[in-house]
Structure 1
Amino acid sequence: MNVRVESSRLVKASYPGHPPRTTLYVPLSVFDKVTYNTHIAVIYAFRPPTPSNSTVEKGLSRVLSEYREWAGRLGKDPEGNPVILLNDEGVRFVEASADTTLDKAMPFKPTAALLSFHPSLHGVAELVQVQLTRFTCGSLMVGFTTHHLVADGHATSNFLVAWGLASRGLAIDPLPLHVDRASFFVPRSPPRLEFKHRGVEFMTKNKFDKGKDNPLKDDIVVHRVHFTKEFLHKLKAQASLGSKSNKPYTTFESLVAHLWRLVTKARGLDGCETTHVRISVNGRTRLSPRVPNDYFGNLVLWAFPRAKVAELIVRPLQFAAELIHDEVAKVNDGYFRSFIDFANSGVVESENLVPTADMGKSVLCPNLEVDSWLRFPFYDLDFGGGSPPYYFMPGYFPVEGMLFILESPIGDGSIDAFVPLFRRNVDAFKNDCYALD
């Protein structure tokens, strides 16, 4: 299959009235600064009938008037602080064609071939990029990339839904909540640093392990595994045996516990080694008072359940599920407030600390990161073709140990996990994938 780029241009916001000033900027919040400084890509597939490229483009232009940040650029304010410049320079819009039908191209495997369906993630000034790829059968692929410093997955999925509404000529509802990010999360007076943040969200630069950063990419395979609804029910029941609270663990907690044990075992690690999982926690529901779901920006911290390799593998599934449940529960309002106080205390600058969220590493072993998209409305994107997305998946991210979990496009409650592993560990992972304790 060949994908040929037909055109590439910038799309700018269309305003119903007088356009706003282009000299404004949005300071990054402490949550923006601590997240991944990188572009993220997702890929959609739609079967015909599909809307025209011009319809999708007009919808994009319209929605950018409500999400100005995406049409801006990263920069600095007069004091040198990182900001989003609201200069309306626009987003990259690429039109392409594939020389085959969608059915012949399917199923899309998580390989480097996916890179042809979206613009490059590297050296990009635009904060959003879109590529529309037309197949000979009339099907449409939408490759979408965004810069993570601007917004987290929750806010980005809201934008995608709004883009669909705008493309169909409907009102954008709800509208994004734009605030002064830097002053919205105000530190307490006096500050209370009640939790450890060095080595959690921040670390010193000399702690980077450069020895593991550059393996041959061919050594890493992204394996997609499908978990049926029936299997997930059994897994949840197994994980919840002997729960301390006498309440079942969630499907997410049970599945992450299962994957943590699977990957750890497949890696063949020394039993005395410690392994942890990095799990995103949405602060919108954790902070008190709650932050509206429509807040546009980053509002995520992480839980880090950890265990000795031998204990994780030998003890039953509920041991791992309990670790995950307890650590996620600790990332509460008090923890978020402590982080805000720490990040505003001047310690980060004086000690030259950097975020631990680092996409520059190719290998996370002995640790994992789990990015869950289970609660995001990605499948609600509707450009007006009359049917939901036929397929949705993350782009190609061959980072060993960085897992993506999302609802299966089948729509029956099943879940797909994208699991990057060293090639030598894939067979061991597959052999135990559906085994229950």
Structure 2
Amino acid sequence: MPSLAPTLLSKCTVFPDQTSTLGNLKLSVSDLPMLSCHYIQKGCLFTQPNLPLHALISQLKTALSRTLSLFPPLAGRLVTDSHGYVYIACNDAGVDFIHANATALRICDLLSPLDVHESFKEFFAFDRKVSYTGHSSPILAVQITELADGIFIGCAVNHAVTDGTSFWNFFNTFAHLCRGATNSPRNVPDFRRDSILISDAVLRLPPGGPQVTFDAAAPLRERIFSFSREAIQTLKAKANNWRLAENENNAGELMKKQSNDEHAKGNRILENWFKVKPLSVTETTEISSFQSVCALLWRAVTRARKLASSKTTTFRMAVNCRHRIEPKLERYYFGNAIQSVPTYASAGDVLSRDLGWCAEQLNKSVKAHDEAMVRRFVEDWEGNPRCFPLGNPDGASITMGSSPRFPMYDNNFGWGRPLAVRSGQANKFDGKISAFPGRDGSGTVDLEVLLSPQTMEALHSDSEFIKYATSHL
């Protein structure tokens, strides 16, 4: 697929329209591991605004300047003190603003191929820039790319400074102010640094900083698969019905065992307990829609990779810790407040068991990630401070990032909602999946899937997977 690289028209620095009053913000145990990751690259595709070009660019710069005053860390730089602690200096150093032209491309050109169009990777600044370089580079860059019949607004932001929750709060605030809203945004970011995520542990880094832990040049295929609301509901019902049947079978086996043992103590009490309070889905943590979709993907990718049955597979999911600790972090706490939760199972179990069994394993891992587990993760990192090892070194891992709960389409710069959400080349490797909400807002989900070419072809012809998933065309 040929790439039509945009032409750079202008580049400048945009500063906050008000002086920051924030001091240095210490990076947390969730921020520091991201210093070896690429900058986040996410953006939105829009139809052509009904504005002269010069007016559009001026309006976007003004809105960005106002937004930076609400998000001072994004206009700052990273600093490391003499003790090795890393901070965000909210020093109003500014962000990059880039205007580029790609009018040889139309919206239909970008959205029609089966694989994600190669040109999207050209719509972002800071290509494969490692977050540690935020010591000398801007923490944020915004690129506006003109198309023949639309525009793309792409943001690249330091991953040691923001997670997805913080990023989309910034992006939507940017849109809110751009469309001329006079009222202050409701989702005001919280910059406090007084939680268990703030630690005295020091991350020791090699001279020049860390590097990414995967081969960024490995050949990959990238496709977006959509799941309708009906398909997701069917998967969820299948997963939860499996659990209900499994619970009933277990209860029946236990009651049978107890009834056959006339000397068993408490037999009558146990029987009455099951009659009054049978095991049911409603009395456990219900398997979610998203966990059901993830289970389907886990099975299909494992099958497509043709792994030995004894091979251990890993499914990693990023979980938001804001509500999992006490006292809870504010909903719009600014920074990384995520932990990567792994679920392990042999390839044989993933493929021989029911989809509901796979969903159950994912459900158990997420359910178990309570405050005690968050603290355990923190203590483990403090005992061995390290950067996050992104990648798929054993060829049997899947890493799920982003979230269908993020308000990716809840932004309107003044000319309508986005047509699509896309990402750049950042942090992409075999088995990296990103979850997006569907554009229609009805509960649909899109998965951005990165796999080796041979695995992608096998996935695309997997009968169980394609029964529920639709390729973007």
Q: Which TM-score band applies after superposition, normalised by the shorter structure?
A: 0.7 to 0.9
Counterpart of 2:138 in structure 1 is: 126
Kindly indicate whether residue 371 of structure 2 is the aligned counterpart of residue 358 of structure 1. no
Kindly indicate whether residue 424 of structure 2 is the aligned counterpart of residue 395 of structure 1. yes
Opposite residue 148 of structure 2, the aligned amino acid is T
Matches within 5 A, 1:30-429: 30-35=29-34, 37-49=37-49, 52-100=56-104, 102-107=106-111, 109-123=115-129, 125-137=137-149, 139-167=150-178, 168-170=180-182, 171-179=184-192, 181=193, 183-185=194-196, 213-214=214-215, 217-218=218-219, 220-243=220-243, 244=247, 245-247=280-282, 248-344=286-382, 347-348=383-384, 353-355=385-387, 357-359=388-390, 361=391, 365-385=395-415, 387-397=416-426, 398-429=428-459
Greater CA drift, 403-412 or 421-430: 403-412
Answer whether contact 1:25 1:84 (CA < 8 A) is retained.
yes
Greater CA drift, 260-269 or 118-127: 118-127
Answer whether contact 1:25 1:86 (CA < 8 A) is retained.
yes
Opposite residue 48 of structure 1, the aligned amino acid is Q
The one of 14, 36, 49 aligned to 1:11? 14
Answer whether contact 2:214 2:429 (CA < 8 A) is retained.
no
Inter-CA distance 80–296: structure 2 relative to 1 (3 Å threshold): same
Aligned pairs, how many? 401
Answer whether contact 1:187 1:337 (CA < 8 A) is retained.
no
Inter-CA distance 50–31: structure 2 relative to 1 (3 Å threshold): farther
SS at match of 2:309: coil
| Structure 1 unaligned residues grouped into runs of 5+ | 189-201
Answer whether contact 2:7 2:100 (CA < 8 A) is retained.
yes
- C-alpha displacement of 1:112: 3.6
Answer whether contact 2:20 2:72 (CA < 8 A) is retained.
no
Answer whether contact 1:111 1:396 (CA < 8 A) is retained.
no
CA distance in 1, matches of 2:96, 2:228: 37
SS at match of 1:217: coil
CA distance in 2, matches of 1:83, 1:7: 31
Inter-CA distance 275–8: structure 2 relative to 1 (3 Å threshold): same
- C-alpha displacement of 1:410: 3.8
Opposite residue 395 of structure 1, the aligned amino acid is G
- C-alpha displacement of 1:175: 1.5
Answer whether contact 1:8 1:94 (CA < 8 A) is retained.
yes
CA distance in 1, matches of 2:449, 2:332: 30
Identity %: 25
CA distance in 1, matches of 2:62, 2:216: 43
CA RMSD of aligned residues (A): 2.7
- C-alpha displacement of 1:48: 3.0
User: TM-score by structure 2 length?
Assistant: 0.78
- C-alpha displacement of 1:187: 8.2
Answer whether contact 2:197 2:378 (CA < 8 A) is retained.
yes
Give per-residue Cα distances to partners, 1:324-358, cap 9 Å, x unaligned.
000111111111123334445xx22xxxx423x23
Answer whether contact 1:152 1:300 (CA < 8 A) is retained.
yes
Inter-CA distance 268–14: structure 2 relative to 1 (3 Å threshold): same
